[in-house]
Structure 1
Amino acid sequence: MKGAPSACSANYVSMTPIRFLERAATVHADKPSIVYGGLWFSWKETHGRCLSLASALLNLGISHLDIVAALAPNIPELYELHFAVPMAGAVISALNTNLDATTLSVILEQLEAKIMFVDYQFIEVVLNSFNIISHGKCKPPQLVVIHDYNKQPSFIFKNLPPDTLNFNQLLEKGRADFEIRMPTNECDPISVNYTSGSTGTPKGAVYSHRGAYLNSLAAISRFDMKPMPVFLWTVDMFRCNGWCFTWAMAALGGTNICLRNVSAKAMFDEISLHNVTHLCGPPALLNVIADAPQSEKKPLPLGVSITVAGVLPPFQVFHKVAELGFSVNVGYGMTEAMGPVLVRPWKPNSGDELTEHISYGDEGLTLFMMEGFDVKDPNTMKSTPCDGKTIGEIMFRGNTMMLGYLKNQQLTKEAFREGWYRTGDLGTKQKDGSIRLKDRAKDMIYSSGEAVSSLEVEAVLLSHPKVLNAAVVGKYDEQMVESPFAVIKLKEGCWTTVEDIIRFCKARLDTHMVPQSVVFGDLPVNSTGKVQKFLIREKIKCGG
């Protein structure tokens, strides 16, 4: 258009979640921002601490887009780092606290972080990873140790590098009048989050300031959050920056209830004490709550919302949690999409429990900031028909996708092929437009010429009263005919037979879906608890 005005400083400001904290410090200055046991901070205090920490990072030599790593549970210091690091113009990478030294060393070598903050609980694994790194070309980062506020640090550590610093001492050296280094480009990286996939190869998904800002706002809508919520930190902050709740809570001026160790007693105590409104995390949270002894359960405040995303437990577990008074929601997403993209309420006593487990419809679902969500033929890129039968790949595109994978252009190009993010998940579109998740593409089984969803078979196995966990993969016989193969872990003190399991499945599944082979034992899992099916397949190939 001729004569059209252009963007200027009055009508365009780079999007960054840093601004949420600035606003909270002004609008909600004296309201509680963080509660951790007996420790309490206001939003004004949190803002000041983050400014001081950002200033201290610059004094240590951190410059534009340097990476700062962190290995810590859900404690105030890790929350503060989510603002302080980008305030210094750097990029935060919160790492999985379940990593072993070898995997951690691989990630640190890829990150090339200059500084690493580590909670006292994880010093040993970090030092072991440094020993592995020292034999390579990469230099280990400088350590900053975080001590628990109610513990004396003097007797805890030995053999630390000579340049190791203490978090509180570092904080004291910073300036509260520090001038924030706002991003010059809103598409600059703000964080690196490592996937928790089952392939065994860690991939660093890079998020932008713009994406984090928009996804934080989207989270407020998806999780139906009102102003000043009370959020219990049961989702790890290392998972997609806590599903972006680290920043969303500042946008709302809510209260963060930090929790070092998650247990049923701790959750019920904190919910009762602080009138918690929201908590989130892996589906295992539901099991912890459902299996809690009566002595640990407490009456809930009205409308406590719990959202889980991942491989879901049996529907009986959902019923138990809902009966306690929780409003239960199910999310679907991935690290590359900054956490759950689709969130729907779980409804008790639905007609088809299995479908309810793995279907995502329009009712109660908010697809906000993600412009495209479809099931497509991965070869032709045409949308599949709404017939409930035609299988395609679930794909996303929108403003809240990652920028790409750190130092891996080939994987990034492959993931974003033809303008859509390829999830690797297979699904069908139902007549009502809802999408039913079938399986991971690499996990789909083809038995007697029919596609078999390992997720559907696993859901049936998990409904068996004696089964604790199950994984299903395809196994080929001598004629190269594939059929379902199940690995089952029984509940403690329980015993059953292969014949019983097969009879149970035959009563609930089509013939071609029934496992032809069943073994009992532990399932191989990675550091995040995801079953590594590729290891099961490798063992089968080797005759195990």
Structure 2
Amino acid sequence: MGWMSDETGLDKCAANYVPLTPLSHLKRAAHVFANHPAVIHGAHRVSYAQYHDRCTRLASALAARGVVSGDVVATLLPNVPAQVEASFGVPACGAVLNTINTRLDVDTVAYIFSHGEAKIVLVDSQFLGLAEAACAQMDGTAPALIEVPDTDAGYPASGRHETYEEMIAGADPAFDWILPQDEWESLALNYTSGTTGRPKGVVYHHRGAYLMTMGTVVSWRMVLHPVYLTIVPLFHCNGWNHTWMMPLLGGTIVCCRDITAPAIFGAIADEGVTHLGGAPIVLNMLVNAPAEERRSFDHAVQVFTAGAPPAPATLSKIETLGFNVTQVYGLTETYGHVTECLWRGADWDGLAKPDRAAVKARQGVAFPIMEDITVLDENMQQVAMDGKAQGEIMIRGNAVMKGYYKNMQATEEAFAGGYFHSGDIAVQHEDGYMQIADRAKDIIISGGENISSVEVEGVLMGHEDVMLAAVVAKPDEKWGEVPCAFVELKSGATVDAAGLIAFTRERLAGFKTPKHVVFEELPKTSTGKIQKFELRKRARDMS
């Protein structure tokens, strides 16, 4: 269907068909925005012409060290300029970029080096010991290490390896970028968090990343020259693809190595940050920052938040600080965010503050680049859009991974029925907006009743003394399992376990109230997600 009766001579050619790739954004920006600030990190401030030059030199240097098309180049870096440059410089020599979580243990990093077959690793001096230990533990040939010192942050070069700046200084600034011949070619390799078993390697293609950069501009309603603060780790879904997106608009990337309230408020005040992304824990940190850690600013900051659904209380408070928050949702397997809680204008403008925060906490509808994202039952049928019937979020579109690297069975299972199975349990409202009830593994079944840990957490976070809360299942002889709350209190808080239980009982059905409350600092991942698998272990050990 769709072909005209005579299309003789109407073929693809170099003039009318070019494989989509986000690399084209920086090639254009180097000319269109040549003198505009591209990347800022303390004293490191480069224009787009300089940024393109540094990425070109990186590509040249990697090629000179034997990296060829299809090879993997890994990074163990925080949000520093070398990580930003790797987004373009690594694929520009035809290689596949593998950004690795800097908080992983030695055994897992060794597995990723080996499984991904990294040829070279760019490693921050802070994490050099981790990389060296992982190389020593590997079976087979270990990758070469290129050290990336950050003296201003207190991490000078060790002297044991060639440094990043030494490597690119002697490279060819005229190196001809190797662009994909097919937009399905692999661009990046990202590993899932691997909370159980080994992490899986998620493969991105150029087409998906290119479309993500376009879709984000639309959904975030962006205009020329945004200033983006890199709070989301660039090793997490390649920073939600924002590094590849910013040259499209001539935007400025402000690197944030250490995610603290003073660093964030300082960047907004000093660099004019207009956009940032982060997990709800980041919003919570800003809301609860003491006055001495805050800076005033006179513009609205647009925020994408994703991860665990943010508590409505947090969303309500942060808007008064000058942040406009949009809830988004996605996974490593979908290049980051693929749904948004698109504001419904006049329908929602008149909502009272608590109701406004409640609807903002929904995961919403599909990004414009996605084909279909909905909630289906176990028979792959649409659930009732009544805000009550639960099913699994299913995703179809061009911003879905190619599959899991060297894991055909897991890939087939993930794509069964023509959709990517997210593993997230949700309801869908009458207007089609989705709202996560829980991860499938986080639903608490107590006496035959399903309890959403997210719902209970939202109520707990509404208490004025609560900084963070996470709810998991605790085995129970009578009920099978009951809710157990792990709570991090604000400084000076006075509430006790009985008080929190009474607080939730006033707002939830009795069976949903936590039966146990533990006060402690919650374990978190580098992306700010609470490590519920650790809390589940602790709850089991308490039984």
Is the CA contact 2:313–2:357 (under 8 Å) kept in the aligned structure 1? no
Question: Normalising by structure 2, what TM-score?
Answer: 0.91
Tell me the CA shift for residue 493 of structure 1. 4.7
In structure 1, stretches of 5+ residues that fail to align are: none
Contact 1:468/1:490 (<8 A) preserved: yes
Aligned partner of 2:103 among 88, 98, 102: 98
The aligned counterpart of 1:467 is 466
> In the alignment, which residue of structure 2 is the partner of 1:377?
377
Which amino acid in the other structure matches residue 368 of structure 2?
Answer: F
From 320, 324, 335, the counterpart of 2:321? 324
Please tell me whether residue 195 in structure 1 is matched to residue 192 in structure 2: yes
Q: Distance in 2 between matches of 1:202 and 1:65?
A: 21
Partner of 2:144 in structure 1?
142
Shift of 1:313: 4.6
Say what the alpha-carbon RMSD is for the aligned residues: 2.4
Shift of 1:367: 1.9
- In 2: Cα distance, 1:319 partner to 1:236 partner: 25
Aligned to 1:410: 409
Q: CA deviation at 1:404?
A: 1.1
Structure 1 residues 345 and 130, CA gap change in structure 2 (3 angstroms): same
Contact 1:394 1:427 in 2 (8 A): yes
Whole-angstrom distance in 2 between the partners of 1:434 and 1:317: 20
Residue 200 of structure 1 deviates from its aligned partner by 5.9
Is 1:302 aligned to residue 299 of structure 2?
yes
- 1:375 partner SS: strand
CA distance in 1, matches of 2:275, 2:80: 17
Matched residue of 1:236: which SS? coil
State the 1:151 CA deviation.
8.1
The alpha-carbon deviation at position 147 of structure 1 amounts to 2.1
Cα 1:531–1:267, aligned 2, differ >3 Å: closer, same or farther? closer
Q: Residues of 1 paired with 2:534 and 2:78: CA distance?
A: 29
* Structure 1 residues 433 and 150, CA gap change in structure 2 (3 angstroms): closer
Structure 1 residues 19-76: Cα deviation after superposition (integer angstroms, max 9, x where no partner): 1111001111121111221222111111111111111111100011100001111111
Structure 1 distance, partners of 2:312, 2:120, is: 44
State the shift of 1:511 in Å.
2.0
Alignment map for 1:250-269 (pairs within 5 Å): 250-269=247-266
1:520–1:258 CA distance, 2 compared to 1 (3 A)? closer
1:278 is matched with which residue?
275
Tell which deviates more after alignment, 454-463 or 292-301: 292-301
TM score, norm. by length of structure 1: 0.91
Residue 353 of structure 1, CA deviation = 6.7
Alpha-carbon offset, residue 197 of structure 1: 5.9
Instruction: Compute the displacement of 1:285 (Å).
Output: 1.9
Q: Which residue of 1 aligns with 2:346?
A: none
Work out which of the residue numbers 238, 244, 249 in structure 1 matches 2:246. Answer: 249
What amino acid does structure 1 have at the position aligned with 2:471?
A: V
* Alignment coverage as a number of residue pairs: 532
Aligned to 1:157: 158
1:356 aligns with 2:387: no
SS of 1:114's partner is strand
Shift of 1:193: 1.6
Q: Which moved more, 1:26-35 or 1:337-346?
A: 337-346
Matched, 1:293 2:290: yes
Compared CA separation, residues 374 and 472, structure 1 to 2 (3 A): same
For 1:475 and 1:270, how far apart are their aligned partners in 2? 42
Distance 1:528 1:360, change over 3 A: closer
How many angstroms apart in 1 are the aligned matches of 2:355 and 2:220? 24
Secondary structure of the 2:370 match is: coil
Deviation at 1:429, TM superposition (A): 1.7
Q: Does the 8 A contact of 1:187 with 1:209 survive in 2?
A: yes
Write the distance in 1 (CA, Å) between the matches of 2:294 and 2:262: 7
Alpha-carbon distance in structure 2 between the residues aligned to 1:439 and 1:475: 16
Q: What residue is the counterpart of 2:48 in the other structure?
A: 43
Within 2, Cα distance between the matches of 1:458 and 1:15? 42
Q: Post-superposition shift, 1:506?
A: 1.1
Match of 1:336 among 333, 336, 347: 333
Q: Secondary structure at the match of 2:57?
A: helix
Q: Which residue of 2 aligns with 1:435?
A: 434
Q: Which amino acid aligns with 2:122?
A: F
Q: Work out the CA distance in 1 between the residues paired with 2:153 and 2:391.
A: 54
Shift of 1:436: 2.1
**Distance (Å, rounded) in 2 between the aligned partners of 1:149 and 1:497:** 45
Unaligned runs of 5+ in 2: 344-348
C-alpha separation in 2, matches of 1:149 and 1:476: 49
User: Aligned-pair distance for 1:416?
Assistant: 1.0
Instruction: Say whether residues 1:449 and 2:458 are aligned partners.
Output: no
Residues 312, 357 of structure 1: 8 Å contact kept: no
> How far did 1:479 drift?
4.8
Between the aligned partners of 1:265 and 1:535, the Cα distance in structure 2 is: 29
Runs of 4+ deviating beyond 6 Å = 345-348
Q: 1-side partners of 2:193 and 2:81: how far apart?
A: 24
1:218 aligns with 2:220: no
Q: Deviations over 1:423-447 (max 9, x none)?
A: 1111112223222211111111223
Structure 2 match to 1:14: 19
Shift of 1:325: 1.5
Instruction: Report the secondary structure of 1:180's partner residue.
Output: coil
- Look up the equivalent residue of 1:240 and give its one-letter code: C
Task: Show the counterpart of 1:3.
Answer: 6
Deviations 1:301-356 (A, max 9, x none): 42221221112454333333211222222211111111111223688844447743
The answer to whether the Cα contact below 8 Å between 2:229 and 2:254 also exists between their aligned partners in 1 is yes
SS in 1 for 2:422: strand
In 1, Cα distance between equivalents of 2:298 and 2:198: 42
After superposition, residues 71-150 of structure 1 pair within 5 angstroms as 71-133=76-138, 137-148=139-150
Residue pair 2:232, 2:527 contacting (<8 A) in 1 also: no
Contact 2:393 / 2:426 at 8 angstroms: preserved in 1?
yes
Change (3 A) 1:36 1:535: closer
Q: Percent identity, aligned pairs only?
A: 39
> What does the per-residue CA deviation read over 1:150-202, in whole Å, with 9 as the maximum and x for residues that have no partner?
5898x7426x3xxx321111102211111111112211111112223644642
